[in-house]
A and B are shown apart, each in its own frame.
Chain A
Amino acid sequence: MTAPPDDCLARNEWICGAYLSTRRQILFDAVVQHLQLTLLSVLIALVVALPLAVLARRWGWAAGPVLAVTTVLYTIPSLAMFSLLLPLYGLSAALVVAGLVLYSLTLLVRNILAGLRAVPEETRQAARGLGYGPVRLLLTVELPLALPAAMAGLRIATVSAVSLVTVGAIVGFGGLGNLIYAGMNTYFKAQVLTASVLCVLIAFAADLLLLGVQRLLTPWTRAART
C-alpha cells in the first residue's frame, strides 16, 4: 500500500494551490455558468423593466400597483422564490433565470421610475417648447437624465444577481454555488473558499465595469461635479 499523498488537498486546507491547478476546468465552467445566468437574467429584467417604468411614469395610476407588486416579489426570500417557480420550470436553468429576473425587475423598475420622476418639469417644458414630441422627449431628454439613477439600480441588481445565483445550487444550476454546495457535503474547504472568493470577485468586477459604462454614458455628470 502506498502512503497517501501529503499535499494541501489531502490535508484539506482552506487555501490550496494544488486545488486551483487540478480543478481549473471545473472552476472555469462554473464561472462561465455563473456569468451566463447573471447576464441573461439582468438583460431580460432590463428589457422588461424599461417599458414598465415608462408606462408607470406616463400613467400615474399604474405606478402604485407596479411598485406594490415588485415590492412583494422582492420580499419573498430567494430560496422560496426558486421553489415557487418549480412547478412552472422544473429543475432547469430557466427556473434560476426566472427567479433572478423577478428580483432584478424590482430594483430596476424602482430606480428607473425614480430617475424619470426626478427629471425637472422645467426641462420637460423647455423641450416641449422647442417642439419635441412625446417620443423624442422620452428618448433624448427624459431617459438620458434618468440614466444615473437607472445605472445605480442596474449595478445593485447585477451585484445582487451574482450573489443570488449561488442559491440556484438547490436545483443544480448555481454556477459557483454548485461548487460550494458540493464542497459543503464533502467538507472540501479549498473548494468552498475558492468558489466563494471567485463569486465576490465577479460581483466587484461587474460593479466596476458598470461604473465605467455609467461614466462613459453620462459625461455631463462628471463635468458638473468638477
Chain B
Amino acid sequence: MSTLAASWDWLTDPAHWSGDDGIRHRLLQHLLLTVVCLLLSCLIALPVALVLGHLGKGGALAVNLSNVGRAVPTFAVLVLLLLTPVGRWGEGPTVVALVLFAVPPLLTNAYVGMREVDRGVVQAARGMGMTGRQLLFRVELPLALPLLLNGVRIAAVQLVATATIAALAGGGGLGRIITAGFNLASTPMVVAGALLVAVFALLVEGVFEVAERLVPRWARGGR
C-alpha cells in the first residue's frame, strides 16, 4: 500500500503541522467548532425537550424532527446558508448548520427519555407531594439521563461529521485538509486528512463510551 505509506509520510512531516493550514490549527478549529456547537445545541434543545417531556406535549414534533433532520442533506443546508447574508460572517454558516443538525437527535432522545419514565414512579412522586419542579429535576431528569446522554453522544458524532462537510462550503476544520488534497489532486493528503477525521470521530465516540460507563454510577451513588 504505497498510498498509505505516502499518507503516513505526509502526516509525520512537521511542516504540515504548523501554520494556519497546518494540522494543529485545523484540529483545534474542529475541536472548538464541535464543543461550542454541542454546548449551544444542548442549551437550545434540552430545556425545550425537558419542558415538553414534563408536560407531555409536542411529542409528534419532537419525534418527527429527527426524521426530517435525516432527510435534509447537510451539504445543501451549508451551501444555502453560505448564499444567504449569514454567509458573510466567517464561520457563521458552519455554526448555524452544525447547531441545526445537532438539535434533532438531542431533542428527540431527551423527549423520549422523559416520556419513558415509569408513570407509576411519577404518580408516586406526585402522591408524596412533590411540586412540578421537584418532579422534573429529582425524578424525571435522573431517570431520563441515560437516553438523554445517548442523544448528546449521537449529536456529538453528528457534529464532527457536519464540521467535516463544512469544509466543502469553505468552513474551517479538519475537512479542509481533505478538500485541499482534492484541489491539489494529492491522494496522500486526502487520505491523511480522512484518517485524521476518522480518528477524531472515533475518539469523540470513545470519550462518550467511557463517560456513559461512569455517569450512571455517580448518578446512582448520589441518591
Contact = CB atoms under 8 A, between A and B. Distances in A.
Interface of A: 71-72, 75-81, 83-84, 86-87, 156, 159-160, 162-164, 166-167, 169-171, 177, 180-181, 183-184, 187, 189, 192-193, 195-196, 199-200, 203-204, 207
B102 to A, nearest CB: 14
Contacts of B197: 76-77, 79-80, 83
Interface stretch (B11-19, B164-172, B215-223): B164-172
A77 B182 contact: no
A170 B179 contact: yes
Contact of A199 (B76, B83, B178, B194): B76
A79 B202 CA distance: 15
Given A72-B202, A87-B3, A192-B80, A80 B193 contact: yes
A209 B181 CA distance: 39
Nearest to B181: A83
Interface in B164-223: 164-165, 167-169, 175, 178-179, 181-182, 187, 190-191, 193-195, 197-198, 201-202, 205
A160 B70 contact: yes
Contact of B70 (A71, A159, A169, A195): A159
B71 interface: yes
Contacts of B80: 192-193, 196
Contacts of B4: 87
A84 B76 contact: no
**Range of interface residues on chain B?**
35 or more
A171 B202 CA distance: 24
A13 to B, nearest CB: 11
Contacts, number: 131
A-side binding surface: helix, strand, loop or mixed?
helix
Contact of A192 (B67, B83, B202): B83
Given A163-B74, A196-B73, A78 B191 contact: no
A77 B205 CA distance: 12
Nearest to B82: A184
A218 B15 CA distance: 60
A83 B187 CA distance: 8
A159 B64 CA distance: 14
Contact of A170 (B71, B168, B195, B198): B168
Contacts of A76: 197-198, 201-202
B79 interface: yes
B72 interface: yes
Contacts of B167: 79
A167 B79 contact: no
Interface in B32-75: 67, 70-75
A77 B199 CA distance: 10
A81 B165 CA distance: 11
Contact of A79 (B72, B79, B83, B168): B168
A38 to B, nearest CB: 12
Contacts of A195: 76
A75 B201 contact: yes
A201 to B, nearest CB: 9
B168 A167 contact: yes
25 contacts: A75-B202, A76-B198, A77-B175, A79-B161, A79-B164, A79-B197, A80-B164, A80-B178, A80-B193, A80-B195, A80-B201, A83-B191, A87-B3, A87-B191, A160-B70, A163-B71, A166-B76, A167-B165, A177-B75, A184-B83, A187-B83, A189-B83, A200-B71, A200-B76, A203-B71
